Amino acid sequence: MPSPSPTPSPVHTLSQAQIQQNAQLFVSQSRIWLEAHWLQVLIAFGIGAAIVALLHWVRRWGIKLCARKPGITGWGSIIGRAVARTGNFFIVMTSAKLVSGYAYAPEVIENTVRFLFTIAAAFQAAIWARELILGAIEYRTQSEGYQGESLLNALGLIRVLISFALFAIALVVVLSNVGVNVTGLVAGLGVGGIAIGLAAQGIFADLFAALSIIFDRPFRRGDKVQYDSTIGVIETIGLKSTRIRAFTGEQRIISNRNLLDKEIQNISNRDHVRIQLDIGVAYETPPEKLEALPEMLSAIVAETGMTVARASFEGFGGSSVDFKLWFDVPGDDWPSAHKARDKVIIGILRRFAEEGLSIPFPTQTTYTAGPDGTLIMPYPEVQPVRRVDKDEGER
Measured CA to CA, the distance from residue 262 to residue 227 in angstroms comes to 7
| Other C-beta atoms lying within 10 Å of the C-beta of residue 281 | 20
Q: How far apart are CA 327 and CA 335, in angstroms?
A: 16
**Quick one: 40 and 116 in the same domain?**
yes
Mean pLDDT across the chain: 76
Q: What is the mean pLDDT of residues 120-143?
A: 82
Question: Could you tell me if 260 and 286 lie in one domain?
Answer: no
**How confident is residue 389, by pLDDT bands cut at 50, 70 and 90?**
low
Per the CB < 8 A criterion, the answer to whether 310 and 326 are in contact is yes
Contact 203, 211 (CB under 8 A): no
Tens digits of per-residue pLDDT, 286-310? 888 888 889 999 999 988 888 888 8
Query: What is the per-residue pLDDT for 346?
Result: 92
Do residues 234 and 284 touch, judged by C-beta distance below 8 A?
A: no
pLDDT band of 143, cuts 50, 70, 90: low
Residue 267 clears pLDDT 70, i.e. is over it? yes
Residue 376 forms part of a structural domain: no
The answer on pLDDT for 3 being more than 60 is no
Segment 86-110, tens digit of pLDDT: 888 888 888 888 777 666 667 777 7
C-alpha–C-alpha distance, residues 186 and 314, integer Å: 68
Q: Are residues 84 and 158 in the same domain?
A: yes
Residue 227 has pLDDT above 70, yes or no: yes
* 293 and 217, same domain (yes or no): no
Query: Helix, strand, or coil here: 160?
Result: helix
Q: How many CA atoms lie within 13 A of 317 on its CB side?
A: 18
Domain span at residue 325 reads 271-355
Nearest Cα to Cα of residue 151 among 136, 166, 138, 170: 138
| Secondary structure (DSSP) of 174-194 | HHHHTT---HHHHHHHHHHHH
Buried/exposed 47-73: b ≥16 CB within 10 Å, e otherwise: ebeebbeebeeebeebeebbeeeeebe
What confidence tier does 326 reach under pLDDT thresholds 50, 70, 90?
Answer: very high
Domain end point (choices 224, 242, 268): 268
Q: Residues 32-58: what's their mean pLDDT?
A: 76
- List the beta bridge partners of residue 326: 276, 310
pLDDT digits (tens, 9 = 90+) for 354-367: 888 888 877 666 66
Q: Indicate if 211 and 263 belong to the same structural domain.
A: yes
Beta strands in 41-167 (DSSP E): none
Residue 46 has pLDDT above 70, yes or no: yes
pLDDT tens by residue, 171-226 = 888 877 767 676 766 666 666 666 655 555 666 677 777 777 777 778 878 888 88
Could you tell me the pLDDT band of residue 390, with boundaries at 50, 70 and 90? low
| Percentage of the residues of the chain whose pLDDT score is greater than 70 | 69
The span from the CA of 283 to the CA of 278, in Å, is: 16
Q: Which pLDDT value is given to residue 12?
A: 41
The amino acid sitting at 15 is S
Is residue 353 over pLDDT 70?
Answer: yes
Q: Which of 130-144, 227-241, 332-346 has the lowest mean pLDDT?
A: 130-144
Q: What is the DSSP letter of 228?
A: T
What is the side-by-side order of every strand in the sheet holding 307-316? 272-281, 321-330, 307-316
Residue 378 lies in a domain: no
The span from the CA of 135 to the CA of 120, in Å, is 22
Neighbours of 395 (CB within 10 A): 7
With a CB cutoff of 8 Å and minimum separation 6, the contacts of 52 are 91, 92, 95
Task: In whole angstroms, give the CA distance from residue 281 to residue 300.
Answer: 16
CB 270 within 8 A of CB 285: no
Whether residue 1 has pLDDT greater than 50: no
pLDDT at 368 over 60: yes
Contact 281, 323 (CB under 8 A): yes
Q: Are 304 and 298 in contact (CB under 8 A)?
A: no
pLDDT at 6 over 60: no
Answer yes or no: do 227 and 116 share one domain.
no
Residues 161 and 293 in one domain: no
**pLDDT (0 to 100) of residue 64:** 79
21 and 115, same domain (yes or no): yes
- The amino acid occupying position 142 is Q
pLDDT at residue 230 tops 80: yes
81 located within any domain: yes
Using the 3D structure, point to which of 154, 183, 199 is the last residue of a domain: 199
Quick one: CA dihedral 33, 35, 37, 38, positive or negative? positive
Q: What is the CATH number of the domain that holds 347?
A: 3.30.70.100
